[in-house]
Structure 1
């Protein structure tokens, strides 16, 4: 059915064109424009038939997110906004210029706040199309994620050995295997997401009782896919990607591997210990990470400095925040003048801290509500009578993206935001669209 290809096709476009947050404006504009018909179609379907119980919570959370974003742009009178934390520098600026205090919105960067809403249109379109239109199939979605990931690894290898001509964006990490992205860490995130979806595809393909030869071919191809991902993580060299690959791979193995319950419980404890050991090794080992230990190379641009200054600013603007899109101008007010150069910090490299800075307590509470819903759905998916491999893969993928967001900003690209939205749709309980068939009536009428 053509309808089932809508989300996979749009997801494919997002992954191929939406790999940058600070570049690729034309491609992202095209994705945003393409999202509008999907959102309109979903809204029309909603008005026609309402919603099912399964999708009301994610729709409600998305509605709260939209309300929070719109609230950032509502003009406030001077008597109100001057009482908000952190606005003293704005008041002082108008005083020095001798200008009266105008009505201003909550956000200190209204243009960037509006742009942030537009950047999320692709993710909104994917989620609404899955929840309200059922325009997807789990197997096709997983196939798109796996295919693009393997192609991205191949492109990344060409970038490492082929020079600047193989890169898709002008503002990028030259010398790093970034694939279809501008940031190497985002390519690593996609590889992490691919790990459970490869296992889900294998489980779905083997479920139909294939012949031994076909089953061997499936296992061989999936094994080759894993080998490509291992190579991809190696040439990508993202420390966070390599560190998170251990819990993601072990969690995937525990989820989809066949083993006795007692053995599974024992391996679960071992998985937790090995995951903590891997992350600790990456954190404190001699790998040149810029978060822990003494920083000797560009300390002003390290995550250690970024986290400290963002936390400092977040405390200043708590509990309402500085407003969506205001990270860059606010962060610059925290930097020491002797460390300022032509290179600047575009994001906090910790989305949780950036959310706290920009949206304060309301944003963090909303983010925690999403996490709570994810955990609740994960429990329901694991105890379900009939296992859904793609929903289980989505649970693991969401965990990987949320964890990677502690040291980066993967969800600020249209491609990975669309993947995240796809995973939310898969765990929501939404089902693919089924055409209603008319059946001939068997009622006999008596002729009088």
Structure 2
């Protein structure tokens, strides 16, 4: 077992196997955001087993870069636990938004029942249990000492696997047995996920990560055949992203493509600047790679557009009752946010609490199980403590990005990549809830961990330069 320790050279060769096993489990079992998906029972049990190597190979020095996100994750879990603690009747009735339930309880003779902050405590308990997946995803690669480029390759592999599975799903049609969940967007290339929006945003992350791996030759030297494989993966992911039918995916995909072009442009300029300053080893022709990649991507996009094979564009134009509901529900969400902004209604309780505020004109055969705006839903369910935790994360991220920009003045493409990653996740969360799916949570935590490790590396490099 010594070979898995992060302070040995063998960790890079063997530690990835453990992370790969975790990735397989979360890919096949963690694609649904629904609390009643039976697969999540097995997933959480399996994820908990991976806490064993995290504890056994724990090293304070290795875990220090991800200390802030780990603490914030623990604070989030602590607030969820507080939300399910029963409160005295008088104290509970003083909480904002409890009047409808208090009135009904009085009619039923249950006015003196102790109740927690959460309107649906079993859902909040479920949300608390779900944190085991992002916790393991964040801590496992760091505890095992994996290189950040290895973790980024996992992101690309997950994205490519989703794209390939999505292609087979399209071939099999809406009745394909390759859809793993009861509630799934059948007829769309969802891959391992149940929601096409979540899948499309994940593909956008994989696109920009593939480009980043190609330009970041200082961290890992890819052989020519490996670069061709990454290029093929990029085209495969792009193709499925275009036909996903997701409007959120179309927007985040365009952000990813713009970021990819900027990555190659900045890398080419930085390489050229290094050549002008003095002789050195020849560098890859990033200008040719950038021009070729952009032209090929535009050609693929133009062909799909010309033949009407980008369903997301048609959905942007045509819309429909369900699509219009995302906008119609905004006033109701705003009212709920104002009501529960202080303590929240309880994580996971949105579906039930929304019934209290649901306007009659929005009653449709389809029901709203999520707010389809994760920023608003976080406020509704988590209240001020959740806002403060999120604000602390944003503050840490902004401070770290500022430090990263100052430390990597000769490699601006790094900052571009990380800004685009967090922008894609943020935009995707405006119109949906990708971070509610365990698979997406794992990918997001991998990226957060890589971001922290990248910052640590740049700090060490800056110290070395100052000593020199």
| TM-score normalised to structure 1 length | 0.80
Aligned: 1:80 with 2:126: no
Shift of 1:313: 1.4
Aligned: 1:297 with 2:307: no
| CA deviation vs aligned residue, 1:185-226 (integer Å, no higher than 9, x gap) | 11101111101221233235686667xxx53x4443333222
Match of 1:174 in 2: 186
Aligned: 1:143 with 2:143: no
Q: Would the aligned equivalents of 2:201 and 2:252 in 1 still touch at CA under 8 Å? A: no
Match of 2:164 in 1: 154
Aligned: 1:101 with 2:124: no
After TM superposition, the structure 1 = structure 2 runs for residues 29-428 of structure 1, keeping only pairs within 5 Å, are 29-43=41-55, 49=60, 53-131=64-142, 133-163=143-173, 164-165=175-176, 166-204=178-216, 214-215=223-224, 217-257=225-265, 258-260=267-269, 287-289=314-316, 297-298=320-321, 302-337=325-360, 339-384=362-407, 393=417, 396-428=420-452
Query: Runs of 5+ in structure 1 lacking a partner?
Result: 265-284, 433-448
Match of 1:281 in 2: none
Q: Would the aligned equivalents of 1:7 and 1:136 in 2 still touch at CA under 8 Å? A: no
Structure 1 pair 97–393 and aligned structure 2 pair: CA distance change class (3 A): same
Task: Tell me the C-alpha RMSD between the 2 structures.
Answer: 3.2
Q: Would the aligned equivalents of 1:311 and 1:357 in 2 still touch at CA under 8 Å? A: no
Match of 2:33 in 1: 21
Deviates more, 1:229-238 or 1:196-205: 196-205
| CA deviation vs aligned residue, 1:400-426 (integer Å, no higher than 9, x gap) | 112210111001111000011111111
Counterpart CA distance in 1 for 2:344 and 2:27 is 31
Match of 2:297 in 1: none
Structure 1 pair 223–306 and aligned structure 2 pair: CA distance change class (3 A): same
Counterpart CA distance in 1 for 2:23 and 2:412 is 21
Q: Would the aligned equivalents of 1:81 and 1:104 in 2 still touch at CA under 8 Å? A: yes
Match of 1:439 in 2: none
Shift of 1:50: 7.2
Structure 1 pair 81–41 and aligned structure 2 pair: CA distance change class (3 A): farther
Number of residue equivalences:
402
| CA deviation vs aligned residue, 1:333-391 (integer Å, no higher than 9, x gap) | 11234643452111001110000111112212211221222222223334435969989
Q: Would the aligned equivalents of 2:57 and 2:144 in 1 still touch at CA under 8 Å? A: no
Aligned: 1:3 with 2:15: yes
Structure 1 pair 87–286 and aligned structure 2 pair: CA distance change class (3 A): same
Q: Would the aligned equivalents of 1:85 and 1:317 in 2 still touch at CA under 8 Å? A: yes
Shift of 1:173: 0.9
Q: Would the aligned equivalents of 2:151 and 2:450 in 1 still touch at CA under 8 Å? A: no
Shift of 1:87: 0.4
Counterpart CA distance in 2 for 1:328 and 1:207 is 45
